[in-house]
Amino acid sequence: MLVAVASIGFVTPMAAQASDVLNLEGMNNYNRSKKSSSKSQFNSKSFVNEVNEGLAKSNVNKNSLETTQNNFEAGSFSDTTTLDGKVIFTLGALNGNDDLSESTRATYMWQGNLNTSFTGDDNLYVRLKTGNATGWQKAYTFGTYLSSSKGNSDMLKVDKIWYSFPVGERNTVWIGPAIENYYMHGTTPSIYKPVTKQFTLGGNGAAYGASTSPGAGWAYKADNGFAISSNFTSKTGDTAHGMLTSETDTSWATQIGFTKPNYSASLIFNMKYNGWTDSYYTTPLGKLRPNEGDSTNVGLRGWWRPEDSGTATPSISLGFDTSETDNTTASNTTAYFVGLTWEDAFNPDDRIGIAFGQPQKREDETVDPLAWEAYYTYQVNDSVTVTPAIFGGSNRNGVPGADHAGAVLETTFKF
């Protein structure tokens, strides 16, 4: 249905160009202007000039084309619907791990974001996504899962969908059949932008680990920077098991935070039930929940950035998680994260990032796992960035000598 609607939205401006001018400059600005929002409005009047001057003209009868346009109007995008997206080309290789294929891979990811408002304050969000990532690009155990990876076998699917609306001036409510907890938090836990997904949210493990599922949440944000939020997702909430039942894996997260322009601190309590496990930032033993046990997970997050970018002083993001699991003798796990970012390091809008930390480790593990990454993002123009990166780990899966290193080159096209 979405493809049909999009197709009709494209047909309408094609019909209109016969009498009105094709706005090539508008198309260029749509993709490249930094002054415009990346979520440019996309509807039946996109790219059409209001005056009859420009690079192309047509003598086709105006009344005839207006009739044609009216016929398509019902199938066009709403004037309150916006579309933005990105495509990422990834070239990468892995070395030093016998458990993962070390082949060099060239893959892609495509993502489109649709936002629609019905009142001016609410938002219906739909994310479409596809890609062909395989092998180590999607492997959890060694932390090589890339943030840019999507392995839909080239099939376009609805990846996220939810509806949010305000209640009063300071409250926001979310509800959706495909959402993750962290989209509903009131405080941003980390400002580090990772290459490997394990470093998302200041450590994508026990406290902040999530899964796209049916869920709902609420957040309150005060004028002074204080915020509190509470939300849940149930992994099988779209099946006969239902939401918030004793038969489904559920994550219920409550976060308290305080944010100012140059710093932030937050505390999260995440109760996970019926054997909920997290895979990105953990060892195999660290993620175990024996006998479908429940777990209590606590996460501390904080970040700071300097007043001016382009200096030798980086922004700093920190994270620490601890968890306790029922039905097991070795019940405690811990994890930590450090992320450093240099904005405008050599050129305007470029970025250097370095991150390292200990993935979620159970107390009876005898080795200390370590994960790390480093990258440089170069802004080619307003719509294109190139990011070379290296990443790796030692004892990453909790086994002595389980070391690896990898490299990727990612090119991102935003539209």
Q: Average pLDDT, stretch 106-113?
A: 97
Q: Average pLDDT, stretch 331-343?
A: 97
Q: Average pLDDT, stretch 384-412?
A: 95
- State yes or no: pLDDT of 335 exceeds 60: yes
* pLDDT 10s digits, 7-57: 334 334 433 333 333 343 443 443 434 434 444 444 434 433 333 333 333
pLDDT of res. 209: 94
CA distance 139 to 162: 28
Q: Which of 25-39, 181-195, 345-359, 389-403 has the lowest mean pLDDT?
A: 25-39
pLDDT of res. 246: 78
pLDDT tier, 153 (very low <50, low <70, confident <90, very high otherwise): confident
- State yes or no: pLDDT of 314 exceeds 70: yes
What count of Cα atoms within 13 Å lies in the side-chain half-sphere of residue 332? 4
The mean of the pLDDT values for the chain is 84
Identify which has the larger pLDDT, 96 or 172: 172
Domain 83-414 in this protein, CATH class: mainly beta
pLDDT of res. 41: 45
- Do the beta carbons of residue 210 and residue 180 sit within 8 Å? yes
pLDDT tier, 237 (very low <50, low <70, confident <90, very high otherwise): confident
- State yes or no: pLDDT of 399 exceeds 70: yes
* pLDDT 10s digits, 169-197: 999 999 999 999 999 999 999 999 999 99
Q: Could you report how far apart the first and last alpha carbons of the chain are, in Å?
A: 22
pLDDT of res. 38: 42
pLDDT of res. 76: 56
- State yes or no: pLDDT of 248 exceeds 50: yes
Q: Which of 33-47, 108-122, 222-236 has the lowest mean pLDDT?
A: 33-47
pLDDT tier, 101 (very low <50, low <70, confident <90, very high otherwise): low
pLDDT of res. 10: 38
Spatial CB neighbours of 202, under 8 Å, sequence gap ≥ 6: 189, 190, 192, 208, 299, 301, 303, 317, 318, 319, 337, 339
Instruction: Map out the domains of the chain as residue ranges.
Output: 2-75, 83-414
pLDDT of res. 39: 45
Query: 85: helix, coil or strand?
Result: strand
Spatial CB neighbours of 313, under 8 Å, sequence gap ≥ 6: 306
- State yes or no: pLDDT of 211 exceeds 90: yes
Q: What sign results for the dihedral spanned by CA atoms 16, 22, 24, 25?
A: negative
Name the amino acid, one letter, at 402.
A
